[in-house]
């Protein structure tokens, strides 16, 4: 098979796959940025005792 054919399929796979992954990652980051704003303030927990 011609290397050009393989290159064509590779370009499509990397192009669409890369775009899909970037969309999912950006979505996840946006959700992560939104969540802390909605969470009630976290109460300060007492620090664990030092182990001796």
Partner 1 sequence: MSRNRLVRLVGALGLVGVIATYWLGLFVTPNAKLFGSLVRLLYIHPSMAWVAFVAYGMAFCSSLLYLWPRTRHARFDRLAGASAEVGVVFTGLTLVTGSIWGRTTWGVWWTWDPLLTTTALLFVLYLGYLALRRVPGDPEVVARRSAIAALIAFVDVPVVYFSVTWWRSLHQPPTVDLAGRHLYVHGIMAFTLFLSFVSFTLVYAWLTAHRYRLAALSEREEDEGLDLALEERRAEGVLA
* Closest residue by Cα to residue 13 from 5, 25, 2, 27: 5
Minimum CB distance to partner 1 smaller for 37 or for 52: 37
Minimum CB distance to partner 1 smaller for 31 or for 45: 31
**Distance in Å, CB of 41 to partner 1, minimum:** 14
Q: Which parts of this chain interact with partner 1 (CB under 8 A)?
A: 1-2, 4-5, 7-9, 11-12, 15-16, 19-20, 23-24, 26-27, 30-31, 33-34, 37
The residues, any chain, with a CB within 8 Å of residue 38's CB and separated by 6 or more, are none
Classify residue 4 by its DSSP letter. H
């Amino acid at each position: 098979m011609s290397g050009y054919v393989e290159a064509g399929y590779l370009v499509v796979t990397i192009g669409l796959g890369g775009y899909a992954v970037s969309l999912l990652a950006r979505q996840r980051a946006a959700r992560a940025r939104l969540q802390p704003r909605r969470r009630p303030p976290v109460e300060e927990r007492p620090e664990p005792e030092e182990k001796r």
